[in-house]
Amino acid sequence: MLAMVAAALIPLLGLVGGGVDMARLYLTKARLQQACDAGALAGRKQMGSGAWNADSNKANTVALELFDANFGTNPYGTNTTTRSFSESAGKVTGTTSVIVPMTVMKVFKKGDQTISVTCDAEMRIPNSDVMFVLDTTGSMGWVNPGDTDTKINGLKKAVKCFYEALMKVDTTADCGSAPSGANSSGVQLRFGFVPYSVNVNVGKLLHNDWIANSWTYQSRTFTGSAGTWGNWTSLGTGIRWGSCPTNTATTEYRNQTQGSFWGYPYCTGGEYRTLSGGTVQYTYQPVSLDVSGLKAGGYSWNGSVDLPVGANGANEAQTWDGCIEERQTVRANSYDPIPSNAYDLDIDQVPNTSDPATQWGPMLPGAVWERRNDGGSRNYSAVITSSEKTDERLSNMSEYFCPTAAKRLQTWSTAASFEAYVNSLTPSGNTYHDIGLIWGARLISPTGLFASDNALTPNGGTIERHIIFMTDGDTQTDHDNYTAYGVPWWDRRTTAASASPTNTQLTNQVNMRFLAMCKAIKNKNITLWVISFGDDVSADAQTNLETCASSGRFYSAANSADLINQFKAIASEISQLRLTK
């Protein structure tokens, strides 16, 4: 009887033992796969936008450490664990194995079992729009302590390294390591730029309907009588040493030739005529001028417009660089919330051709005069005089700054075109943070001026949106600067009309508008990255910049090397938003 029971136990033992060992095999494989996945993901994350072997193979070390932490030491009685990780084209692959000795099944001469698994991880960047809003003010031409090159050159290199890290395309910049891997052919990556200083150069990106047909400038009208011009008289064919004379209110010149001999200027040829009779008189005051001649249809623009601001009211061509004056604003002590009639702070409002308050105007410094008395003091009232006031014409003064033209979002599929644009950035002027951020928001918004291009990819895909705002210092204003709100001492669009504004008042206005725009951008689900560059940023400005940034998206860079690393870190963060296995 006992023999029969013993015989019956043998198959039962096989069933139970097989179940135990099969469970161990299953649990071991699951744990091995989990550990492999964790190691691959950790290694790829550590690698970021750099190289797999950077920092003494740090990424590989992290991958192995995460594997070991997750798998443990000889779990379920296993032994002889092997694991290795490698990288190719940005993809990290892991291969692991472990031996599982049999327990009960040894009785049935079942040998040890080897379990092997593989895993991989790569960064799949989502469809992304990145708008660079970059401080190109005069101080960017300075050198940070400890650096050997200007801040603007450090910025150029940092932006190129960002492009290199995100696009996986090599540039001429020394970014520490070559880009690794490649992006999926189905991913859309677009970059745009808004360089800013006192102003932004965005006008020629706009539709003709969005610019007003007439605009009011601190200008002049001819209020004298015309008089009679005499006949043209030859100036002779001989050499006249010195520069050729220029037109005045009573004398005009033509067909002169300016030359130089051993550095000495001379003039030859030409004719002149003089005005007799009449009265030369100008009234310097705000004047509405017809600027519709700039419009060439659709999104095309002419480079200049003839305006009656020349000598004796003659038409004179005024060149337009592309910088704009802002649309209707309000004077307020707070812009949180943004007032409904502050159209200048409305990101998405498309101008209405029947409502000029919603449209922008072209900045034309040649049509603008300051008004000062003979002692040089500013005069708010109209001035009637026979003087041409050449020295008070904005185009002859150092009060107008128009930065490099902004760029709408585009793919920039080659590094050469991207680098050529970045290299064109030039520092000049004071620091008006608000106008840069306002237009960065307008150019990236999915629901505003360019909604048809920005809402979705051509294939209907969703888009992640990022603004990278970089500045090297505090707001710097000047009531004589020709700004997006006119010349503040005379136009007074953001301050009380009854009193001349101080620079402190103007600075406070810029800061309040800046912070209001930061909040509006974040409310549109656009990630706002903010970088403070250099050691010339006050504590108050630093606080404003930190407040402006999206949560956890503020960075500080003491020098150019730090700036490059911060831009590369942001590129890695954008990539890691979609880290997949």
pLDDT in tens, 236-285: 989 999 999 998 878 999 999 999 999 899 999 999 999 887 788 999 99
The residues facing 316 across adjacent strands are: 307
Q: Does the predicted model carry a pTM greater than 0.75?
A: yes
Instruction: Looking at the structure, tell me whether residues 404 and 541 fall in a common domain.
Output: yes
Is residue 5 pLDDT above 60, yes or no? no
Average pLDDT over every residue of 195-222: 98
CA distance 98 to 113: 8
Q: Per-residue confidence at 297, pLDDT binned at 50, 70, 90?
A: very high
Scan for tokens 């911060």, then name that residue.
566
Answer with the one of 123, 148, 176 that is the final residue of a domain. Answer: 123
Number of domains the chain is built from:
3
- CB contact at 8 A, 158 and 471: no
Cross-strand bridge partners of residue 580: 122
Q: Annotate 94-126 with DSSP letters as a single string.
A: EEEEEEE--SGGGGGTPPPEEEEEEEEEEE-PP
Inside any domain, residue 486:
yes
The stretch 543-551 carries a mean pLDDT of: 98
| 418 and 560 part of one domain | yes
Mean per-residue pLDDT for 43-47? 87
Round the average pLDDT of the chain to a whole number and report it.
92
Look up residue 370 and give its DSSP letter: -
Above 50 in pLDDT, residue 13? no
- How many helices (H) does the chain have, and how many strands (E)? 10, 24
492 and 443 within one domain:
yes
Q: 403: cis peptide before it, omega within 30°?
A: no
State which of 277, 311, 340 marks the end of a domain: 277
Is residue 425 located within the same domain as residue 569? yes
The predicted pLDDT at position 269 comes to 96
Q: What is the pLDDT of residue 575?
A: 81
> Measured between alpha carbons, how far is 511 from 548 in angstroms, rounded to an integer?
11
pLDDT band at 111 (very low <50, low <70, confident <90, very high): confident
CB 246 within 8 A of CB 252: no
Concatenated DSSP letters of 372-391: B-TTS-B--S-EEES---GG
* pLDDT tens string 506-518: 999 999 999 999 9
Residue 43 is assigned to a structural domain of this protein: yes
CA-based radius of gyration for the chain: 34
Residue numbers of the domain that contains 260: 227-277
Beta bridge partners of 471: 532
∠ Cα 420 426 428 (to 5°): 165
Same domain as 85, residue 168: no
